[in-house]
Structure 1
Amino acid sequence: MSINDTTSTTSSLSLNQILANSSKKTATSSADGITSATNSATGKKALGKDAFLQLLVTQLKNQNPLDPQDNSEFVAQLAQFSSLEGITTLNDSVTAISGNYKSSQALQASSLVGRSVIVQSGTTQVDTTKSMTGSITVPSSVAGVKVTITDKDGKEVKTIDLGSQVAGTSSFTWDGTKTDGTKADPGNYTFKASTTIDNTAVALVTYLPATVNSVTISQTGGELMLNLAGLSSPIALSKVKTIGI
């Protein structure tokens, strides 16, 4: 019967081989530690600054003794941590500003309801028991300007002759009467201003008063939209020329 001596085989292992095996175990332990820390810190959620710091500490605790963390890499990771924290703080600040902006919009909207505004429009709701004043934009000096008023059925109610006008903004007033002098019924009316330039009929832009019935606040930070009496489509706040009482 023969006996095999394994002592020589074990003793023949060099110091480098032993350290190499130790290095492999350490690297495996380090990887397992970081993986465990990642799962514990994130919980399958987005990596935040607290989780990032926990992973960084775990990485330092489980680093390979034969190949320790390089100083430059450590500083780079700290810089990344600072950047992450700064971005998180910036996001919180932007969220707070957005909330304040929405609150400001709501306050602004509540103050506009029931107010009279002048907007670029050709149609408005008119209370014919009192006079209504509108305006037109004249691009250049012209010999004559006319404003034709029609009711909701498209029937002509009255024509106002403004005569010659210079370039700029000109006002007109309607007292609520028809051509025959009788009072028109309250309701929606359309105003069309026109003139002749170089023997060509030209339509002019009109600005009419309207009452704000309600205000629509954008949930995405967009502009306030005004719902005006007599208008089927809302008007952006930036399109308002004048805000009255």
Structure 2
Amino acid sequence: MSVSDSTGGLSMNDILANSSVRTNTTNNDGLAGAAGAATGKKALGKDAFLQLLVTQLKNQNPLEPQDNGEFVAQLAQFSSLEGITTLNDTVAGLAANYSSSQALQASSLVGRSVIAPGSKAVVDTSKSFTGTIAVPASVDPVKVKITDADGKVVRTLDLGSQKAGEASFIWDGKNDAGEVAAAGTYTFDATATYDGKATSLVTYLPATVNSVTISQTGGELMLNLAGLGSIALSKVQTIGM
């Protein structure tokens, strides 16, 4: 009885090689299908990453199994992805708490008096008005020119020589003629002679907070001052009653 060779002269190595090719094709198709099912058009997340990893292990070539080092590296990537996801959740929670803190802080500032850098102030001339000047170096003399809303100079205060630091001034609400000026918005222009040149100085003036604007993107609180516009909370020097 004769037996015919159905392999057509192929060796065992050839058969195994062909089997490997078919297995690799199956692996690629399986991974591609898993990737499409897991991710779709969305970004790769931890669940999709784990699904791809399991699919890869289930469809690996038995003649060329997953390398231990590569497998450990993929597990480390999955662990890192899990940590980043947890960190994102934590940061989102902190952002929500920060927004709540901002809202509470904003409600406590409305109606309060603050001192902030600026050249204009709403003045009640029936009582004294106090401001501060930032003096960068010893200068002589320091003068404050007070102008009304129409651009008319109503009073000039001469503070004389001042050392580096802060210099306070008080306006009693009267003009140069000794008459009480009308209440309203006034501009305070502080100047000093430095190295023989007239130099403008920064003034810090009181104002009342009418309302507060809370940023929807996590930005800084903006204080809306009565009759003066908005200013960032970080620029406020002093918060009073």
Give the TM-score, by structure 1 length. Answer: 0.89
Give 1:40 deviation, angstroms: 1.7
- Partner amino acid, structure 1, of 2:10: L
Alignment of 1:116 onto 2:113: yes
Given candidates 226, 237, 241, the residue that maps to 2:237 is: 241
- Provide the C-alpha distance between the structure 2 equivalents of 1:105 and 1:33, rounded to a whole number of angstroms: 51
Deviations 1:156-193 (A, max 9, x none): 11122333433322211122222233322221100112
Aligned to 1:45: 42
Give 1:9 deviation, angstroms: 4.9
- Provide the C-alpha distance between the structure 2 equivalents of 1:88 and 1:110, rounded to a whole number of angstroms: 34
- Provide the C-alpha distance between the structure 1 equivalents of 2:58 and 2:114, rounded to a whole number of angstroms: 68
Alignment of 1:172 onto 2:169: yes
Aligned to 1:3: none
- When residues 142 and 30 of structure 1 are mapped into structure 2, their CA distance, relative to the original with a 3 A threshold, is closer
Deviations 1:96-133 (A, max 9, x none): 11221222122212211211111111111112232211
Give 1:8 deviation, angstroms: 3.8
- Partner amino acid, structure 2, of 1:127: D
- Provide the C-alpha distance between the structure 1 equivalents of 2:63 and 2:123, rounded to a whole number of angstroms: 88
- Provide the C-alpha distance between the structure 2 equivalents of 1:126 and 1:35, rounded to a whole number of angstroms: 73
The SS at the match of 1:77 is helix
The within-5 A match list for 1:133-152 is: 133-152=130-149
- Provide the C-alpha distance between the structure 1 equivalents of 2:8 and 2:197, rounded to a whole number of angstroms: 111
Percentage identity across paired residues of the two chains: 70
Give the TM-score, by structure 2 length. Answer: 0.90
- Provide the C-alpha distance between the structure 2 equivalents of 1:56 and 1:25, rounded to a whole number of angstroms: 20
Supply the RMSD in Å over aligned alpha carbons. Answer: 2.0
The within-5 A match list for 1:43-82 is: 43-82=40-79
Bigger mean CA deviation after superposition, 9-18 or 116-125? 9-18
- Provide the C-alpha distance between the structure 2 equivalents of 1:166 and 1:88, rounded to a whole number of angstroms: 56
- When residues 25 and 132 of structure 1 are mapped into structure 2, their CA distance, relative to the original with a 3 A threshold, is same
Contact residue 121 and residue 208 of structure 1 kept, 8 A? yes
Ranges in structure 1 where 5+ consecutive residues have no aligned partner: 1-6
- Provide the C-alpha distance between the structure 2 equivalents of 1:147 and 1:77, rounded to a whole number of angstroms: 70
- Partner amino acid, structure 2, of 1:45: K
Alignment of 1:183 onto 2:184: no
- Partner amino acid, structure 2, of 1:125: V
- When residues 142 and 60 of structure 1 are mapped into structure 2, their CA distance, relative to the original with a 3 A threshold, is closer
- Partner amino acid, structure 2, of 1:243: I
- Partner amino acid, structure 2, of 1:132: F
- Provide the C-alpha distance between the structure 1 equivalents of 2:38 and 2:140, rounded to a whole number of angstroms: 80
- When residues 43 and 167 of structure 1 are mapped into structure 2, their CA distance, relative to the original with a 3 A threshold, is closer
The SS at the match of 2:237 is strand
Given candidates 202, 208, 227, the residue that maps to 1:211 is: 208
The SS at the match of 1:201 is strand
Give 1:219 deviation, angstroms: 2.6
Aligned to 2:25: 28
The SS at the match of 2:57 is helix
- When residues 183 and 69 of structure 1 are mapped into structure 2, their CA distance, relative to the original with a 3 A threshold, is same
Runs of 4+ residues over 4 Å off in structure 1: none
- Provide the C-alpha distance between the structure 2 equivalents of 1:38 and 1:200, rounded to a whole number of angstroms: 72
Contact residue 123 and residue 230 of structure 1 kept, 8 A? no
- Provide the C-alpha distance between the structure 1 equivalents of 2:169 and 2:155, rounded to a whole number of angstroms: 13
